[in-house]
Amino acid sequence: MKDMEFFIIVVPPLIGSVAMIWHLHALKKHDSVLFKFCETRRNLMSFLRQENYNLKRQDYMALRQLGNWTDKAIHYYNDGKKSMFNARRLAYEIKIMKQVDKKIKKRIIQSEEVGALYRQFGSALFSAFWAFTPFLRSEIVITLAFPILRLLARHGTRHLKAKMTRLLENISWVSNEKQAYA
């Protein structure tokens, strides 16, 4: 009976502790990803304050678009973190960022800082995609595990085949030597 009392006293706090650790891990993941978006917006606003009248029209329009995207990502973060950061959105954002990168290389967008801000937003978007896409790490590991295991199996069978061939040669040599001395 004393063992039962021990479990009644110890198990509920342990379950509560595990639940709290799980919640804190989710909160840490939430905060770290959200911080990257807020940092991007903070850098964007400080750049706009520093370069306010010195910006070209194309630079300003690109920054305005980036500001809108960042604001939407932050504002709808809690509602959309499971669906907003998915593969289609990531592919769309990468396509847009490649277009901006082409404009920067063609010097339509003059400022390299605009490109750096776009890359910072892309990094935040990728980290959000990585953090909130369910089972992504498992899929990557499973996808990579099969070819690696297949390669190891091939290598192992080749190695085993070479060892077996050598063993058979040694056995035949021993049997030949045995017959020679018999």
Predicted confidence at residue 39, as pLDDT, reads 93
CATH for 2-134, among 1.10.287, 1.20.120, 1.20.1300, 3.10.290? 1.20.120
Indicate if the pLDDT at residue 87 is higher than 70: no
Distance CA 38, CA 29 (A): 14
Instruction: Name the pLDDT band for 179 (thresholds 50, 70, 90).
Output: confident
| Secondary structure letter of residue 108 according to DSSP | S
Better pLDDT: 28 or 80: 28
| Of 26, 48, 47, 32, residue with least CA distance to 124 | 32
Enter the tokens of residue 49.
């304050």
Q: Whole-model pTM?
A: 0.56
Angle between helices 112-132 and 87-105 (to 10 degrees): 170
- Residue (of 67, 90, 75) closest to 34 by Cα position: 75
pLDDT higher than threshold 60 for residue 83: no
Name the most confidently modeled range: 8-22, 90-104, 144-158: 8-22
pLDDT at 84 over 60: no
Give the mean model confidence (pLDDT) for residues 54-77: 82
User: What is the mean predicted confidence (pLDDT) over 30-55?
Assistant: 87
Q: What is the DSSP string of 111-165?
A: -HHHHHHHHHHHHHHHHHHHHHSTTHHHHHHHHHHHHHHHHHHHHHHHHHHHHHH
